[in-house]
Chains A and B, each alone.
Chain A
């Protein structure tokens, strides 16, 4: 049975929770509000800078808060994390400013490119392919991890509702929680993640028509507490369908990254995806050649199983940037199976390949002229 708890009791419990520097949360002024209801305790919190929800330290702190209040036995514990006031990153003076390429500097705020439904997200990157099976989800997940490893705040949205592979690729350990009517995305390897895979029992299929898919895209953008992010990487389903269109309509995408294997065929089909984005005024940020060559795990012999260089040649021909090559490597797959994206370890050649793509991508974004927002009156 739930005891009747006083807000004072909650405050006392919270004052026992320390941040990593050993400071008491209540004394820091982080507790913005406490509400005790019937079988429910709600807390509004601000995390002490520099801790944010996206860091492991932040998550740990939230757990500690949750456990401390739960121990009072007053019912269900709800935590609402208020977004602290945003400080402008140094040097961000407007959309045309090229950010420094030094370490740790966040990209300048892109005026007019934040999706209306998720206003804290600065840059949205769609990862697309023409056909399936080119490794798009692996590239998207590793790209997100690589960007996070470079110190950016990153989210990963897996919109492939038919074959959501992202939770497996990142070794999903936690489930999303619904807090105050919004979905709190779990954080894996420093990346906030949402995927249909979290909401379906393992063996259930999604057999939906257009309007449901559109609604899913809107919910993934608008009902998920993404917070303030430098990048939202969006893993699209293969091809050019409802979800791609919904995304282009619902969000003002900063740009699209096209994943292709070296074979001409992969690229011919990819050109359809490219045409779609161009028609919808979404800039093509560049092309990634996945499965670019195979390196034998035993003897190191390199073989161009799917050919090599086809995507780079096509990028040059079409006037798009080439973002890099990712080899077909046993280790990428085994680490994916373990839920440990290789991009976590920049010292390995596989991890470095992904990190190089991330670096090149950021350079491309820096060069981009950011879109003007239409003035409507």
Chain B
């Protein structure tokens, strides 16, 4: 059976989501990267209505004090069925369903990305 997450830590090191996999592998996903890779139909423009940028809008320049914007972070995660993780972000976005396979594909660690590079 393909590897699945045993443990997901939202407040991981270096503003990353830490995942411990069933096959022993460990992944660290920086928040911005993971949010950028949201597979939902809106983010990937699967609707054909124009994808929404994941970056936050620039603060209004006319006000005297810049509006404090909390840095992006995941506020909640839950298992979706037995095959995926759903993440709710601090910017309100909550429609991303990251299948375990997809999540594993996204692992940015040296070993995983090396594997990708060498298969080219």
Contact = CB atoms under 8 A, between A and B. Distances in A.
Interface of A: 248-253, 279-282, 371-377
Contact of B6 (A249, A282, A375): A375
Interface residues of B, number: 21
A374 B8 CA distance: 7
Nearest to A252: B82
B79 interface: yes
Contact of A281 (B4, B7, B10, B78): B4
Contacts of B83: 248, 279-281
Contacts of B1: 281
Nearest to B20: A375
B6 A252 contact: no
B82 A280 contact: yes
A252 B7 contact: no
Contacts of B11: 377
B77 interface: yes
Main secondary structure of the interface of A (DSSP, over half): loop
Contacts of A376: 7-8, 10, 77-79
Interface in B18-64: 22
B5 interface: yes
Contacts of A280: 81-83
13 contacts: A249-B81, A249-B84, A249-B97, A253-B82, A280-B83, A281-B4, A281-B81, A281-B82, A281-B83, A282-B81, A372-B6, A373-B79, A375-B6
Taking each of A248, A252, A280, A376, which has the highest tally of chain B beta carbons within 10 Å of its own beta carbon? A376
B82 A377 contact: no
Contacts of A372: 6, 22
A253 B81 contact: yes
B9 A377 contact: yes
A374 B10 contact: no
B13 interface: no
Contacts of A249: 80-81, 84, 97
B42 to A, nearest CB: 15
B7 A375 contact: yes
Contacts of B7: 374-377
Nearest to A377: B9
Contact of B81 (A252, A373, A375, A377): A252
Contacts of A248: 81-83
Contacts of A281: 1, 4, 81-83, 100
Contacts of B82: 248, 252-253, 280-282, 371
A251 B81 contact: yes
Contacts of A373: 79
Interface string B99-114: 0100000000000000
Contacts of B10: 376-377
Nearest to B11: A377
A249 B85 CA distance: 10
Nearest to B79: A374
A24 to B, nearest CB: 46
Given A249-B80, A281-B82, A377-B10, 7 more contacts: A280-B82, A281-B81, A282-B81, A372-B6, A372-B22, A374-B8, A377-B11
Contacts of B9: 377
Nearest to B76: A376
A281 B80 CA distance: 11
